[in-house]
Structure 1
């Protein structure tokens, strides 16, 4: 892969990483509720899901998923239902009292649960694999397919870490600005409503034409 091609890939890829979707909303929410570090660590689940998707797409199985209406719909509806479930939980979540907000950030819920949540949201969105089956091949070098695809995949994951950190810091900043149980209650409502909205949008997503 030439340097000019790679430099063209970088900004296009980072734009995809920074696109606001369910996982980046999770980073904002976790950053606001638990702090930057727990949000970044939890997003390891997302990175694992994306790494699996990159491997699947690289082996050519991603095209099979895109072509299979049944497989696409099963993943889509499971993912949509999970997003709606998370959204409802946020809508019903009690806002922390002002005196307990600082201690909540220091003692977040099980990291395993947060990591699993990130993994499930990423894996439950079949649109994510379309990025790797449609976007990456435009930059892959045919004569060095494996190494160039590995470079693209590694770069995507590294840039995803940057996006995760930025959204987590945004969430933490919003928490400081919205100091107080009433403000946090509204934050939960907005985050929950957006998550439900993402779930409904995903449910109505159509499989791309083969």
Structure 2
């Protein structure tokens, strides 16, 4: 019987290792594919638009405090609500809040002090001693069809757009007028509005 020549031991070891190397190479390709897929996913996530977590992108800046004029309107509403059928006739800024004169349905004025933010009554209403002439004037102003305080503020701002308002008052001179006085930072000291039409009838400028 004839036997085939045997291979050297080193060559036999190399041949045995080939299938193992091929298998490891296949696994390496799979791992590379998985890594590439993970990288693609990470890149996709990092390129997506990111919000700041506050909701401002969708809703705009929220929670901003109201403007000074809006506070004055709130002050008027808060003070008027403290008097039955009350209307705020005069508002004056103070260091620690607002002093408001509110006129009720009989023409009597009451003093109301409102917090700085306009949200609550600090004291009052305290009824003033009102003369017969003042009662008659107040009732005329209530019945004159005058523009309300919010409309008076808007008309004043159309004329003097900048600078805080220190006081606003409905008064009867030669006719019903809203008188508005401004902080020293405003370009005008004061102005008067026709309380029925809202027309600016006088502007007091700074020297």
TM-score w.r.t. the length of structure 1 is 0.23
Determine which structure has the larger strand proportion and give its number. 2
* Higher RCO (C-alpha 8 Å, min separation 6): 1
TM-score w.r.t. the length of structure 2 is 0.23
Determine which structure has the larger helix proportion and give its number. 1
